[in-house]
C-alpha cells in the first residue's frame, strides 16, 4: 500500500522537476523512505511507462530520471513547437566525440586528433554548455582541460558516459559510409 503511494510521489517529483532527477536527490528528499524502495519505485515507473501505450516515457539520462516524449512522435511535436532542434556541424560533432571519449583532454590533443584548429569549435561548445573546463593541466603553458557536461548527456540521451558505445563497438557496427552522399572530387580532370 505504502509502496504504491511512494511510486506516485516519485512520479510527481520527476514530473515537476526541470532536470533529470537522480536517485540520490530523491533519497534526500524522501528521507522517510528506504533508498531501495525508491529505486524499486523508479524501476517500476520506467517499466510501466515503456509498456503502456503512453506518449511519454521515463528516460534515464544524465544520472537521473526525466519524462520525455517518444522518439517516434518527433514529427508531430515538431509541428507543434516549430522547432528544428539542434543541428551540429561535422566539426562540432567530431570535437564532441573526441572529448567524450578522451576526456580529460586539452585543446592541443583535440587538434592533433582532428588535424585542424579547433579553438572556435571549442568556444561554441563551451557557450552551448556541452563542454566544461575541468581545470588546468600541469604541463608547461598550463593548458585548460576539457570534458563533457551534464547537458551533453541530457542532449544526447545518455544515462552516463559509460553508456556510450565503445570505439571498438562502433567499428564493428560497420558505420554508414560517410562519403555515400558526397560527390566525387573532379581530380581526374586536373590530370595534365
Partner 1 sequence: MPLESMQSNLFSDALENAYRVQIEEFEGPLDLLLHLIKKNELDIYNIPIAAITRQYLEYMELLKELNLDIAGEFLVMAATLLQIKSRMLLPVTQDEEEAEAEDPRAELVRRLLEYQRYRDASHQLSSRNLLGRDVFARKFDSPELAELVPNEEPADVELFDLIEAFQRVLARVSVETFHNVVTDGISIADRISEVLSLLHELKTISFDALFSDGMTRDLLVVTFLSILELCKLKLIKITQVESLGAIWLTSSSQDDDVITDAVKAEDLEMEGLVVG
What residues from 153 to 182 belong to the interface with partner 1 (CB under 8 A)?
154-158, 165, 167, 170-171, 173, 175-176, 178-179, 182
How far apart are alpha carbons 7 and 16 in whole angstroms?
15
3-state secondary structure at position 108: helix
Q: Are 88 and 156 in contact, with CB atoms under 8 Å apart?
A: no
79 binds partner 1 (CB under 8 A): no
Helix spans in the chain (H):
2-16, 23-29, 35-51, 74-81, 90-102, 107-114, 119-127, 150-155, 167-172
Stretch that binds partner 1, among 3-11, 29-37, 43-51, 97-105 (CB under 8 A): 97-105
Q: Among 42, 63, 107, 109, which residue interacts with partner 1 (rule: CB under 8 A)?
A: 107
Closest approach, Cβ 66 to partner 1, in A, equals 6
Closest approach, Cβ 1 to partner 1, in A, equals 30
101 binds partner 1 (CB under 8 A): yes
32/192 with CB nearer partner 1: 192
What residues from 15 to 54 belong to the interface with partner 1 (CB under 8 A)?
18
Give the contacts of 137 (CB within 8 A, at least 6 positions apart).
Answer: 104, 106, 143, 144, 145
Amino acid at each position: 500500500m505504502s509502496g504504491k503511494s511512494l511510486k506516485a510521489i516519485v512520479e510527481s517529483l520527476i514530473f515537476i522537476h526541470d532536470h533529470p532527477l537522480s536517485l540520490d536527490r530523491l533519497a534526500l528528499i524522501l528521507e522517510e523512505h528506504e533508498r531501495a524502495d525508491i529505486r524499486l519505485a523508479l524501476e517500476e515507473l520506467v517499466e510501466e511507462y515503456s509498456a503502456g501505450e503512453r506518449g511519454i516515457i521515463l528516460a534515464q539520462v544524465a544520472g537521473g530520471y526525466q519524462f520525455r516524449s517518444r522518439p517516434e512522435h518527433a514529427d508531430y511535436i515538431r509541428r507543434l513547437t516549430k522547432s528544428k532542434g539542434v543541428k551540429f556541424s561535422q566539426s562540432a560533432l567530431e570535437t564532441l566525440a573526441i572529448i567524450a571519449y578522451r576526456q580529460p583532454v586539452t585543446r592541443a590533443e583535440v587538434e592533433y586528433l582532428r588535424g585542424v584548429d579547433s579553438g572556435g569549435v571549442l568556444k561554441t561548445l563551451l557557450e552551448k554548455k556541452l563542454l566544461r573546463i575541468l581545470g588546468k593541466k600541469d604541463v608547461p603553458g598550463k593548458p585548460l582541460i576539457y570534458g563533457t557536461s551534464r547537458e551533453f548527456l541530457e542532449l544526447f540521451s545518455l544515462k552516463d558516459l559509460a553508456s556510450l558505445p565503445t570505439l571498438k563497438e562502433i567499428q564493428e557496427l560497420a558505420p554508414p559510409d560517410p562519403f555515400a552522399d558526397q560527390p566525387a572530387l573532379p581530380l581526374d580532370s586536373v590530370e595534365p
